[in-house]
Amino acid sequence: QNETTVTEFILLGFSSNPALRLCLFALFSVLYSATLIGNALVFVLICLDYRLHSPMYFFLCHLSIVDICYASNNVPHMLRNLLGQGKTISFAGCGTQIHLYLIFALTECVLLAMMSYDRYVAICHPLRYALIMNRRLCLTLAAVSWAFGFIFGTLQASLALHLPFCGPCEVDHFFCEILAVLKLACTDTTVNKVLIFVVCVCFLLFPLALILISYVHILATILRIRSAPGWHKTISTCGSHLTVVSLFYGNAIFMYMGPGSGNSSGREKVLSLFYSLVSPTLNPLIYSLRNKQVKEALLKLQRRKRVFHS
């Protein structure tokens, strides 16, 4: 029998102080706008400039899509909440947030591992790079990333939403994060928490191990490079990916697998902010917009606009 009597949830958000909420609204609005503009710009540049039609930028294009969708799933409702206009969310809306949040988060976990493999092939097997990272393989790796994210995200969301919720209905978070919602279930959630841990092992620890193995081989190859320009180019290319990987996986492991995970609402909110705003804002800057080829593509696009308007 379905014991769910809760038809909507109340998102407590960050603070009851009106002045602080207004400051947070202004800050998060700027970050959200930067996320949308930065990732959309990267996507458009990669699509328009044939010089960026390579495996590395193909995966960056998918990462930009994930970041836009991920931020747009959580942030607009959070901004409404900060203005005092969106504290409540329907049960269906909450379920949709959980579902999409899991899909995009798990997809990015796999996608970052695929990107490390691309860097491994590019640096350790440069002469065979075009042969190995062909169009078919790139499409397959991207499809696998999205498929895994969708399947396991749907599984977790379905199990969580089929639990009985009979009150209270206050979610101590700024969106319907799965750990925060599980606290409100009127039954034992051990199975759900075990599943979350297993998924974390598969989508966090296993991809992270593959990334570290890739970079051990990359480091060994770098040490054999004698020219300073070669060192600089290789470290610059891989440093961006390692920076994002360290931040992304480190925060996720601390949030979902660390001691006391799911018990500290303050910690969950801060870490969720990283995934919802900080990481999607930084990714275009770290990966693309400081890259020489992307800068050249951006200048080329600006010249096209000037010619068009003149």
pLDDT in tens, 45-83: 888 888 888 898 899 999 999 999 989 998 998 998 888
Using DSSP bridges, classify how beta strands 8-11 and 170-171 pair: parallel, antiparallel or unpaired.
parallel
Confidence check: pLDDT of 95 > 70: yes
Confidence check: pLDDT of 2 > 70: no
3 located within any domain? no
Domain containing residue 232? 8-308
Output the pLDDT for position 276. Answer: 82
Output the pLDDT for position 284. Answer: 83
Tally the domains of the chain: 1
290 located within any domain? yes
Q: What are phi and psi of 11, to 5 degrees?
A: -90, 115
pLDDT band with cut points at 50, 70 and 90 for residue 3: low
Output the pLDDT for position 154. Answer: 95
Output the pLDDT for position 1. Answer: 44
Mean of pLDDT values over 34-50: 89
Confidence check: pLDDT of 159 > 60: yes
Mean of pLDDT values over 157-183: 88
pLDDT band with cut points at 50, 70 and 90 for residue 111: very high
Strand, coil or helix: 245 = helix
Confidence check: pLDDT of 209 > 50: yes
Look over the chain and give the mean of its residue pLDDT values, rounded to a whole number.
84
CB 79 within 8 A of CB 25: yes
Torsion of CA 166, 171, 172, 176, to 10 degrees: 140
Give the whole-angstrom CA distance, residue 144 versus residue 139. 9
174 located within any domain? yes
Percent of the chain, pLDDT > 70?
87
DSSP 50: G
pLDDT single digits (tens) 122-158: 888 989 999 999 999 999 999 999 999 999 999 999 9
Confidence check: pLDDT of 182 > 80: yes
What lies within 8 Å, CB to CB, of 266 at 6+ separation is none
Mean of pLDDT values over 259-288: 76
Percent of the chain, pLDDT > 90?
33
212 located within any domain? yes
Q: Which has more confidence, 219 or 25?
A: 25
1 located within any domain? no
| 26-35, 214-223, 286-295: segment of lowest average pLDDT | 286-295
CB 279 within 8 A of CB 233: no
3-state secondary structure 144-159: HHHHHHHHHHHHHHHH
2 located within any domain? no
DSSP code per residue over 103-130: HHHHHHHHHHHHHHHHHHHHHHSGGGHH
pLDDT band with cut points at 50, 70 and 90 for residue 234: low
**What's the whole-model pTM score?**
0.88
Confidence check: pLDDT of 201 > 80: yes
- Structure token digits, residue 36: 């949308």
Tell whether the torsion through CA atoms of 51, 54, 60 and 65 is positive or negative. positive
Confidence check: pLDDT of 256 > 80: yes
130 located within any domain? yes
109 located within any domain? yes
Residue 50's domain is classified under what CATH number? 1.20.1070.10
